[in-house]
Structure 1
Amino acid sequence: MEIFTQEHLIAREKYGTTKQAELILENMDTRTPNDRMIKFIENMNYFFLATSSKDGRVNVNFKGTKSKSLIKFLDKNRLIFPDFDGNGILHSVGDIESNPHVGLLIIDFLNDIRIKINGKAKIIDDKNEIINYLDIFDSFNFSRLIEVQIEYIIPNCSANLSVVRNSILRY
């Protein structure tokens, strides 16, 4: 699957970043996370999930838990996380049902680290299937799981994260 569209390539040419992007993309495996990425992701207890309805209306939602971790890797190309009912609006679930393409942004503001993941998601809501995953999570207070088949994973530029961190610490 090709991640980048013709519009991405045109934008790189227009803004003079083609060589920079090619250098990064030629020297990095963007299909499979390395062990350091997996450890980092599995130790985070929050992230941002971007979804879109079939007609292109975009949503982004914060996903978090008080537990030690939220995302677990099933293998090098699949991850899973619990979906909590929250306010009951279910933007993410409704979007995934009509358009499985998702984006995850995992940010550690204290250490200036970001990882971006794009993939295809599916909802697991059958109680008999959910039982198979209960031993990998710290919390059981969820109604369904979301599994993501990774199509693209890359460390996201951490420029200016320390500015955000310093702003947060002032409050």
Structure 2
Amino acid sequence: MSIFTKEHNDLREKHNTKNKFEYYFDNIVKDEIDESLANYLESLEYFFFATSNINGNTNVNFKGKKSKYLIKVLDEKTFIFPDYFGNGIFHGAGDILSNPNVGLLCIDFSNDKRVKISGTAEIIDNKKELLKYMDLFDSYDIQRVIEIRVNYIIPNCSNNLSIVRESILKDCN
């Protein structure tokens, strides 16, 4: 799986992290969703969804749970999530139409767990196709479903998550 560029490799050489990277990449990076990851994804309350258009302009959206599932895993390479009517700008959906490469950052602050997913997205908004997925979600104002085909999955380093969680809890007290 070739997901890194010469520039990534040059930085690893410069900062002497090549061996660490090779171990990490050989043992941790995945290209399929196993049962444990499927359970994690289907339990999420929210995630951050990154897109970019054909010109490389980037966009990040917050996606939050509005129905029984936020993400539904279909198989080891594919999952979907509902997309609801928003402000009408269609920033993320428009990006997908010009550049299907997307990223997700899924964070569980309570368990210090992060997962990064890179994939390609497809918009499903044909009413007949959309009906196949309506039973998975208990909200009926879904405008479209976004289907993600996984390229790679990286369990992200959880350093600093406990610091963020403690800060959030401190602010709530």
TM range (shorter): over 0.9
| Maintained 8 Å contact 1:112/1:161 | yes
CA shift at 1:117, angstroms? 0.3
Give the whole-Å Cα distance in 1 for the aligned partners of 2:69 and 2:163: 25
| Maintained 8 Å contact 1:44/1:68 | no
Indicate whether 1:164 and 2:164 are aligned.
yes
Give the whole-Å Cα distance in 2 for the aligned partners of 1:113 and 1:33: 16
Give the whole-Å Cα distance in 1 for the aligned partners of 2:143 and 2:80: 14
Number of matched residues? 171
The code of the aligned residue for 1:17 comes to: T
User: Does the residue aligned with 2:44 lie in a helix, a strand or coil?
Assistant: coil
CA shift at 1:52, angstroms? 0.3
1:26-70, Cα deviation, whole Å (9 max, x unpaired): 123511122111101110121000000101000011001233430
CA shift at 1:84, angstroms? 1.2
Equivalence map 1:1-171=2 (5 Å): 2-28=2-28, 30-171=30-171
Give the whole-Å Cα distance in 1 for the aligned partners of 2:138 and 2:2: 36
Give the whole-Å Cα distance in 1 for the aligned partners of 2:29 and 2:109: 24
Displaced runs of 4+ in structure 1, greater than 3 A? none
Give the whole-Å Cα distance in 2 for the aligned partners of 1:119 and 1:139: 25
Structure 1 alignment gaps of length 5 or more? none
User: Does the residue aligned with 2:111 lie in a helix, a strand or coil?
Assistant: coil
Give the whole-Å Cα distance in 1 for the aligned partners of 2:9 and 2:29: 19
1:113-154, Cα deviation, whole Å (9 max, x unpaired): 001100000100100100011111232221001001000012
Tell me the TM-score normalised to structure 2 length: 0.94
Tell me the TM-score normalised to structure 1 length: 0.95
| Maintained 8 Å contact 2:102/2:118 | yes
Q: Single out whichever of 23-32 and 36-45 deviates more from structure 2.
A: 23-32
| Maintained 8 Å contact 1:45/1:68 | no
| Maintained 8 Å contact 1:43/1:68 | no
Structure 2 alignment gaps of length 5 or more? none
CA shift at 1:5, angstroms? 1.1
